[in-house]
Every structure is written in structure tokens, then in C-alpha cells.
Amino acid sequence: MTCLPQKTDKALGLVIDLDTCVGCQACVTACKGWNDQGYGVPLSDQNPYGSEPSGTFLNRVHSYQVMPEAAAPMIVNFPRSCLHCADAPCVTVCPTGASYKRAEDGIVLVNEDACIGCGLCAWACPYGAREMDAAAGVMKKCTLCVDRIYNENLPEEDREPACVRTCPTGARHFGDLADPASAVSQLVAARGGYDLMPEQATRPTNKYLPPRKKDRPDQASLLAPLLDIKATGLAGWLDRVLGKLP
């Protein structure tokens, strides 16, 4: 189990559009809500109403400020969850085989019944995509909502991850990144989707779409005044303006 499949038939994953994400955190709680009662044990919270609350989440949204050399500073909201890497180090380190990558669709999962909670896979993941549940002592991670995307009890249109379904801006896309014809692959191609920390050699499946170019540089305005109002006065202006009417 712990060996990675040579090749997966599909590479299901997410494409996250940083140009569109407003940082609303909807995907964070939708993920928690679904997975709290879905795949595996609930996502527990410790000290939930106390001074130091803490809990297990499979998806977190950060916010960064980017300061270009010569343009206005930007804020980029940045969702972070498991990237379902092709070369997933979290899988190979696992001593129990609980952590595995599926050959059929590339989803990286934890078999919670086999997990001893050693935490090694979380150490191995560069992206912080795994969180050990403090109540159950097992490793939790994004399942790509396997219990939704193949769930025959759900209507066809709902067979997508909870976070994708809830994202109000449509910044999250789900699909097969191994299929170059898929909508997600085309989006990645069109918008220059990229990998996070390529130097970590994990070959993530999930891709991020960069913010589009923002804040047009100051260039000349195209609006030319009708005439010199100082010289011609309001009457002259009025003549010109109303003269435009048919």
C-alpha cells in the first residue's frame, strides 16, 4: 500500500483560482461540516469555547500581502489543502500502510483503522495538509470528498467536493488533471496554473491559478474635452453637447 502507484488512471484534484478567491472561508467550514459527519471519525475541537480553542480542519485559507516593485500592493487569499501529489512523500513514509494513494484516481487517503497516529506523514508533507485529530489520534486529511464524488445517493450535480460546491465565487474547480481535455486542465493551460513548492519534488495534482495582472499603469486619459469651457462658456458647451442629438 505504501508504495506509490506507478501511474494513476486519473488524477483527480482541485484547481484554485487565486485571482478570484475573496478569502471568505466558506470552503473551510463547508469542508469541516461535511467531513465532520462523513469519511472517518469526526473532526474534533478541543476547548471549543475556551481560551485556547483548537481543532482539526482539512482546509485552511491564508491571506498574504504581495508588494510588487512598482505597482500597488495586493492581498492574495490562499486556500490550502491536500494537493494529492503524484510523488506523495506522506505515503511512502507511512509505516502502517494507512496512508495510500489510489491507483484508479490518484486520491491520497488515510485508512483510519490502520493509522497508529505516528504523525510521520504530516512531517513528510511540505504543505501542512495533514492534521492529527487530537481526540481520535488518527491522521486526518482532505479526502477530495471521495464520499461525495462517487456517491450514488447524491444527485449527479452534487458529486463534487463540498468546498467546491459551496465556494460562492467559483474559485475552486474539481476535475481530472490527467485528462488534457478536461475543463480543469484547460483552465490550467489557459491561465498558467502552477505547482506549489516544485522544489519539494512532490508533483502536486492540485494547481493554483495566479492572480491576473492588476492595476493598469497610469497612461494618458482618452477623454478629450469637447472644447475649452473657459473660453466658450457654458453656452458653447451646451451647443456642442446638444448638437450631438439627432
Name the residues that contact ligand SF4, by CB under 6 A: 21-27, 31, 34-35, 58-59, 61, 77, 79, 81-85, 88-90, 93-94, 96, 98-99, 108, 110, 115-121, 125, 127, 129-130, 139, 141-145, 161-163, 167, 169, 171-172, 202
Q: Which three cell numbers stand for residue 69?
A: 516593485
Report the partner that residue 218 touches, choosing among another protein, ligand SF4, none (CB closer than 5 to 8 A by kind): another protein
CA distance 93 to 135: 23
Q: Which three cell numbers stand for residue 244?
A: 450631438
Report the partner that residue 50 touches, choosing among another protein, ligand SF4, none (CB closer than 5 to 8 A by kind): another protein
According to the binding rule CB under 8 A, does residue 2 interact with another protein? yes
In DSSP notation, 76-132 reads: EEEEE-----TT-HHHHT-SSS-EEE-TTT--EEE-TTT-----HHHHH-TT--EEE
Strands 74-80 and 54-55: unpaired
CA distance 191 to 31: 26
Cβ neighbors of 159 (< 8 A, separation 6 or more) are 148, 149, 150, 151
According to the binding rule CB under 8 A, does residue 189 interact with another protein? no
Q: Among residues 84, 101, 141, 165, which is the contact residue for another protein, using CB under 8 A?
A: 165
According to the binding rule CB under 8 A, does residue 201 interact with another protein? yes
Minimal distance in Å, beta carbon 180 to another protein?
A: 21
Minimal distance in Å, beta carbon 175 to another protein?
A: 15
**Cα first-last separation, the chain:** 78
Question: Nearer to another protein by C-beta: 10 or 140?
Answer: 140
According to the binding rule CB under 8 A, does residue 180 interact with another protein? no
According to the binding rule CB under 8 A, does residue 167 interact with another protein? yes
Report the partner that residue 80 touches, choosing among another protein, ligand SF4, none (CB closer than 5 to 8 A by kind): another protein
Rg of the Cα trace of the chain?
25
Report the partner that residue 225 touches, choosing among ligand SF4, another protein, none (CB closer than 5 to 8 A by kind): another protein
